[in-house]
């Protein structure tokens, strides 16, 4: 078979523009899913108008659940704060009680300002002054 025969065969097998048009119409008639609706056409000038879709919202039941959950968490947080405050108050009260019940062995005959040498500051519960303690005779006079 010579080259001219090859070219002739090739020309015969070429699909014309009209044949291609028909082939493609038939092809896409089967290719496009039937479930797709027939398409309209909207020009880009129409499409460029912003089409805004709001986000999906959760269902009312889900909203109620989330409100309840938030309330429960708030109550739990308040309870925890109250517990912490209570513990703190107890500690303060314990320290204050300790200071009140201190015995004579815990008392030192010094003024509240420490051993400043001042003789005018009471050192006793009855208002006894430091200078007066000097005059207390521990042994009876002979």
Binding site residues, other proteins, CB under 8 A: 10, 13-15, 17, 19-21, 23-25, 27-28, 30-33, 35-44, 47, 50-60, 63
Q: Which is nearer to other proteins, 40 or 127 (CB)?
A: 40
CB atoms within 10 A of CB 119: 13
Q: Smallest gap, in angstroms, from Cβ of residue 18 to other proteins? A: 10
* CB-side neighbour CA atoms (13 Å) of 92: 6
Please say whether the dihedral angle defined by the alpha carbons of residues 91, 94, 99 and 104, taken in this order, is positive or negative.
Answer: negative
Would you give the distance in Å from CA 38 to the centre of its chain?
Answer: 49
Q: Smallest gap, in angstroms, from Cβ of residue 22 to other proteins? A: 9
| Rounded distance between C-alpha atoms, residue 8 and residue 83, angstroms | 100
SS3 59: coil
Q: Which is nearer to other proteins, 10 or 113 (CB)?
A: 10
Q: Smallest gap, in angstroms, from Cβ of residue 80 to other proteins? A: 29
Q: Which is nearer to other proteins, 50 or 138 (CB)?
A: 50
């Amino acid at each position: 078979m010579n080259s001219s025969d090859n070219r002739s065969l090739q020309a015969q097998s070429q699909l014309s523009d009209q044949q291609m048009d028909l082939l493609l119409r038939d092809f896409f008639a089967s290719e496009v899913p039937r479930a797709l609706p027939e398409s309209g056409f909207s020009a880009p000038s129409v499409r460029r108008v912003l089409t805004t879709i709001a986000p999906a919202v959760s269902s009312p039941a889900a909203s109620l659940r989330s409100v309840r959950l938030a309330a429960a968490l708030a109550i739990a947080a308040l309870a925890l704060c109250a517990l912490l405050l209570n513990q703190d108050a107890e500690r303060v009260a314990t320290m204050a009680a300790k200071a009140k019940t201190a015995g004579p062995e815990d008392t030192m005959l010094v003024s509240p300002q420490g051993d400043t040498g001042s003789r005018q500051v009471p050192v006793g519960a009855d208002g006894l002054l430091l200078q007066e303690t000097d005059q207390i005779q521990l042994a009876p006079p002979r």
